[in-house]
Chains A and B, each alone.
Chain A
Amino acid sequence: MNFDALFGNLAQHTVDGLSKGAIYALVALGYTLVYGVLRLINFAHSEIFMVGTFAILGTWSLLGITDTPSIGMAIVYLLIGLLVGAAASGATALTVERVAYRRLRRMNAPPLIFLITAIGVSLVLVEIYALWMAGFFSGRGFSENRLVIGIPAMLKQETVISVAGANITNVQIIMVVSALVMLYGLDQFINRTRYGRGVRAVAQNPDTAALMGVHQDRVIMLVFVLGGLMAGAAALLWNMRYGITKFDIGFVIGLKAFTAAVLGGIGNLRGALLGGLLLGVIEVYAATLTRSTWEDVAAFVVLVVVLIFRPTGLLGESLGKARA
């Protein structure tokens, strides 16, 4: 245990962890929304994130962008990336719901069946990208590409503020702030608007909601699209921060994001944010304390411990219940 390394630069590690956690949090929102309404783990959600990273990469290379354009253009490109990523991920999520889940919902199939279907969908998406789309989006035509693909950097990552010995880069600020903004927007949407009321109603009791005139299928489609939008935004942040993507990139992120959702209380939007940020920080701390290879173990051990003492996660499950 290397405590000197951790406490010598605690602020820096915390900042790194928070920015890492921002991506987990945004992806976790997708799991949490779908789980809150349908009580089902959408295992294919990780691939929806992956689709977003590739769609953004494809658009950027179509526009012929090289590394670090001027600030004005970078903002335009980032906005375009956000739109494209959100649209691609949202559309994929909607397709997955329509093709894979709707029939099972009609049959009222047990969760296990959904799970296996989702795993199947996830494999299909991954392979479609490995065999054709990854090559296409990286400008090599429809060909097999199972390699790591670089993404042009929009912003030069440089330190803009130093607080308590922590050097915070511009990208890190953007990541954490945009995660907070997206969550605030989503929270307001779910709690303040007509559509959001429909979502909460279906989450509480689907049958009663249907009797009150809430169109169930439409709500479920909405939930999948919202999750997809958040995953698309996460994909943009990922591209900015790490500058690479790969056909199987979704798997690990998805696993972490789901862990984050459970940690915060699955079905709870604020829980997803808390869980995501917390998980990011825990991972960075654990990696500093031991070796980076142990960070996954730390994440899961924390999850198990939290679940044992607080089986509904830190903030409890409550898409419909608590703030109805």
Chain B
Amino acid sequence: MTEALRQFNERRRHALGGMADRWRALPRWQRWLGVLAGLAFLYYLPFLGDIPGTNLIIPGLDWFRTDSIAGGSNWAGVLFVCALYVLVAIGLNVVIGLAGLLDLGYVGFYAVGAYSVALFGSTQSPVVQSMQRQFGLSEEWAVAWAVCIPIALAFSLVAGVLLGWPTLRLRGDYLAIVTLGFGEIIRIVAKNSGWAGQAQGVAGIPGPEGPPSADNTVFGLLKIEPWYWLALTVVLLMVLLVRRLEHSRVGRSWLAIREDEDAAAVMGVYPFKFKLWAFAIGAALGGLSGLLFASRSTFIQPETFNVQLSILFVAMVVVGGSGNMAGVALGAFLLAYLPERFRDFSEYRVLAFGLALVLIMLLRPQGLLPSRRRTRELQDRAKEAAVNVA
């Protein structure tokens, strides 16, 4: 059984490795064409199966849409959530996959981002209302959405540093529980504080076109495609950014710290500084994602940001293949998409999710699309174990 599995894995690795090598061997213009086609497909996804502008449909593709089943969710809405989770996964991948820090409270940063835009951008938030009273502003006044973006980024960045500063000196497992606690604290504080809207949350959160209203033509309440395109664009930009970072001095330092912190320190990489950087950058990406989430839903409440969501985020990264951006994006997409597509089995959804987690980790601990370095590391560890037992 295991032998057959090993052979199968071997063959598949050859096939996949061959594909990657062939891709790299293509002329540059063909690769560009391939990338452009891929991007065009991503932007076309909300219409999957239809040909826009005509009444024609492409048979078969319809099956993949979540609204093809009875009671299914809006397809563009699901895609928007997928894009948000991909953004989260990319941010968390910096923390877990690259720097090797186990963060179980990532939802805290997501919440900070969401609450930043809610508390500063909504006319119904207690913070804005008290500012109106303080400075004698009109009741329609609130911080503009575009200004909320840097505010949200700054707040989540600061939250990352504030959490990281005292805790990053702790060992991995302790870090996990402290971050878990941090996520809970953010949620409980939001739930119990008058200035954060308490358990009812905050409504009237603005989007790119200002406060939610029926007059918004592009980023409205009913038409979700533009929201998906916005999120997708943000994701693509962040992919580029993190990719540049990954291949820079900073990225190499993260990998060195992940592999062996002491060795990295001896080589002149100051672990604390780079860990803090990873935390802060991861936090900012989580905050950005939370901001998009809050803007789209126009309404947030603290119970959304629970530990289970944090665990889902970590699961996306690990299942997809921590350390590899394509992998974590795939993991995030699958974990957001599959439960929606198979809503028919909604009763057994969580059970299936749990079973899938266990099976994937047992049979493919490196994740679905692992980074090459990570795979080799796991093989090394397995070999070490074999030597120890013998």
Distance, CA A251 to CA B307, complexed state (A)? 10
The answer to whether B181 touches A113 (Cβ under 8 A) is no
A70 at interface by CB-CB < 8 Å: no
A291: chain B residues at CB < 8 Å are 192
Q: Name the one of B169, B172, B177, B388 contacting A259, with C-beta atoms under 8 angstroms.
A: B177
Bound Cα distance from A206 to B171, whole angstroms: 21
B173 near A111 with CB under 8 A, answer yes
Say yes or no: A307 contacts B174, CB within 8 Å. Answer: yes
**Is the pair A131, B351 in contact by a Cβ cutoff of 8 Å?**
yes
For A127, the chain B residues whose CB sits under 8 A away are 348, 350-351, 354
Stretch of B60-68, B76-84, B153-161, B312-320 at the chain-chain interface: B312-320
Tell me which of A108, A123, A262, A303 contacts B384 (CB under 8 A): A108
Which of A103, A106, A296 touches B184 (beta carbons < 8 Å)? A296
A112 and B102 in contact, given A107-B378, A117-B361, A304-B166 (Cβ under 8 angstroms): yes
Q: Of all chain A residues, which has the CB nearest B385?
A: A108
Cα distance, A103 to B382, chains bound together (Å): 11
Main secondary structure of the interface of A (DSSP, over half): helix
Pick from B318, B350, B361: contact of A104, CB under 8 Å: B361
Minimum CB–CB distance from A17 to chain B (whole Å) comes to 19
User: CA of A116 to CA of B177 in the docked complex: distance in angstroms?
Assistant: 14
* A117 with B315: CB separation less than 8 A: no
As a 0/1 sequence over residues 297 to 317 of chain B, the CB contacts with chain A under 8 angstroms (1 = contact) are 000000000010001001100
Report A1 CB to chain B, min CB distance, Å: 14
Q: Is the CB of A307 within 8 A of B170?
A: yes
Verify if A71 is at the interface (C-beta below 8 Å from B): no
Q: Are B351 and A100 in contact (CB under 8 A)?
A: no
A50 to chain B, nearest CB (A): 14
The reply on A120 being an interface residue by CB < 8 A is yes
Complexed CA–CA distance, A117 and B364 (Å) = 11
Interchain nearest-CB distance for B183 vs A (Å) = 10
Question: Once the chains are docked, how many angstroms separate the CA of A301 from the CA of B167?
Answer: 12
CA of A126 to CA of B355, assembled, Å: 12
B362 adjacent to chain A (CB < 8 Å): yes
In angstroms, Cα B103 to Cα A115, docked, is 12
On chain B, the residues within 8 Å of A122 by CB distance are 354
Given A293-B192, A297-B185, A120-B177 contact (CB < 8 Å): no
When distances are taken between beta carbons in the complex, the residues of chain A under 8 Å from B191 are: 293
Q: Is the CB of B188 within 8 A of A308?
A: no
Q: Assuming the A-B contacts A106-B385, A108-B384, A262-B174, are A121 and B358 also in contact, with contact meaning beta carbons closer than 8 angstroms in the complex?
A: yes
The answer on a CB contact under 8 Å between B362 and A117 is: yes
Task: Please report which residues of chain A, range 92-108, place their CB below 8 angstroms from some CB of chain B when the two chains form the complex.
Answer: 99-100, 103-104, 106-108
What is the bound-complex CA distance between A109 and B364, given in angstroms? Answer: 11
CB distance from A275 to the nearest CB of B (A): 12
Partner of B356, one of A35, A107, A120, A294: A120
A307 and B167 in contact, given A107-B381, A262-B174 (Cβ under 8 angstroms): yes
Distance to closest chain A CB from B197 (angstroms): 15
Nearest to A302 among chain B residues (CB) is B181
Q: Are A304 and B365 touching (Cβ within 8 A)?
A: no
Q: Which residue of B lies closest to A113 (CB)?
A: B365
Is A147 located at the chain interface by the 8 A CB criterion? no
Chain B residues with Cβ below 8 Å from A124 are 351, 354-355, 358
Looking at A104, A109, A112, A297, the one whose CB has the most chain B CB atoms below 10 A away is: A112
B347 pairs with A117, CB closer than 8 A? no
**B96 within 8 Å of A (CB atoms):** yes
Smallest beta-carbon distance A35→chain B, Å = 8
Query: Are B354 and A104 in contact, CB atoms less than 8 angstroms apart?
Result: no
Cα A311 to Cα B172 in complex, Å, equals: 12
Shortest distance from the beta carbon of A122 to any chain B beta carbon, whole Å: 7
Q: Mark A281-308, 1 if CB is under 8 A from B, else 0.
A: 0000000000101101101110110011
| Max count, chain A CB within 10 A of own CB: residue among B178, B191, B382 | B178
Q: Is B189 an interface residue (CB 8 A)?
A: yes
A301 vs B357: C-alpha distance when bound (angstroms): 31
A104 and B362 form a contact (CB under 8 A): yes
A311 adjacent to B170 (CB under 8 Å) = yes
Q: Once the chains bind, are B177 and A103 in contact (CB under 8 Å)?
A: no
In the complex, B281 has a CB within 8 A of chain A = no
21 contacting pairs across A/B (C-beta < 8 A): A108-B381, A108-B384, A110-B378, A111-B172, A112-B322, A117-B362, A119-B311, A119-B315, A119-B357, A121-B354, A123-B357, A124-B351, A127-B351, A127-B354, A128-B351, A131-B348, A297-B184, A307-B170, A307-B174, A311-B169, A311-B170
Not counting A111-B172, A116-B357, A116-B361, a sample of 15 additional A-B residue pairs whose C-beta atoms are within 8 angstroms of each other reads A104-B362, A107-B385, A109-B381, A116-B318, A116-B319, A119-B354, A122-B354, A123-B357, A124-B351, A126-B350, A144-B347, A296-B185, A300-B184, A304-B166, A311-B171
Could you tell me which B residues sit within 8 Å of A by CB distance? 96, 102, 166-167, 169-174, 176-178, 180-182, 184-185, 188-189, 191-192, 307, 311, 314-315, 318-319, 322, 347-348, 350-351, 353-358, 361-362, 365, 378, 381-382, 384-385, 388-389
Query: Which 5 A-B pairs have CB atoms at the shortest separation, nearest pair first?
Result: A120-B357, A123-B354, A108-B385, A300-B181, A124-B354
